[in-house]
Amino acid sequence: MLKGKTALVTGSTSGIGLGIAKALAQQGAHIVLNGFGDSAAPRAEIEKLGVRAEYHGADMSKPSEIEDMMKFAAAKFGRVDVLVNNAGIQHVAKVEDFPPEKWDAIIAINLSSAFHTTRLAVPAMREANWGRVINIASAHGLVASAQKSAYVAAKHGIVGLTKAVALETATTGVTCNAICPGWVLTPLVQKQIDDRAAREGIPVEQAQRELLGEKQPSLQFTTVEQLGGLAVFLCSPAADQVRGVAWQVDGGWTAQ
């Protein structure tokens, strides 16, 4: 379905981003990966699917590096057809104890980076009269949790940005939508589980059950494969009139 197209996925060297990149590659899209840590292994995983993969290590808190990444993608592939804004970090603390530098970093990486990639990708999408912007928000883009002020603010912001861009592109072949996962067992979430187990002196398995029980009625983690499948759907002709949606994949979290 995406043969000959290019997808750029931020924060895609592991977790949700890599899962979505693989799902898009399975549909024939060439992939531009981005993220910290090892890039050789995820790039090899993508190339095994029969498409080209490139990597750019832009720090998503730095607009100049984001601009360089977008120029790199255009130089390698012509343009970005599918933009998946997935990069994100987390910090947990009460608002009065929240380090200002952590607030600034979370807003920069989880929200502002999506603005910068989108503003740079949309012109070529408009020219081609086809494009997909998919923002990875969160259940926390729709509801809040205590001690996550920056993350909740950023994810609510992503949902708002999604709606605004969807309206601005409504008469074109470009769509913009958000995916709002609940708990996904990524390294970020595993760290929260491990921290909770250590803090409360309970087994990791118990901490995991309690985490799910508090928020996610299905008592099951959302999987990266499910999120990848939804991203593929949002790129399909069936989703041509899906615009400005914040699509929950959260086991019933936000239905409560």
Active site residues: 151
Token pair for 243:
């615009």
By residue count, the chain amounts to 256
Return the DSSP state at 240. Answer: T
User: Is the Cβ–Cβ distance between 29 and 7 less than 8 Å?
Assistant: yes
Q: CA nearest 115: which of 70, 151, 77? A: 70
Per-residue exposure over 243-256, b if at least 16 CB sit within 10 Å of its own CB, e if not: bbbbbbbbbebbee
Parallel, antiparallel, or unpaired for β 82-85 and 53-55? Answer: unpaired
The SS3 of residue 175 is strand
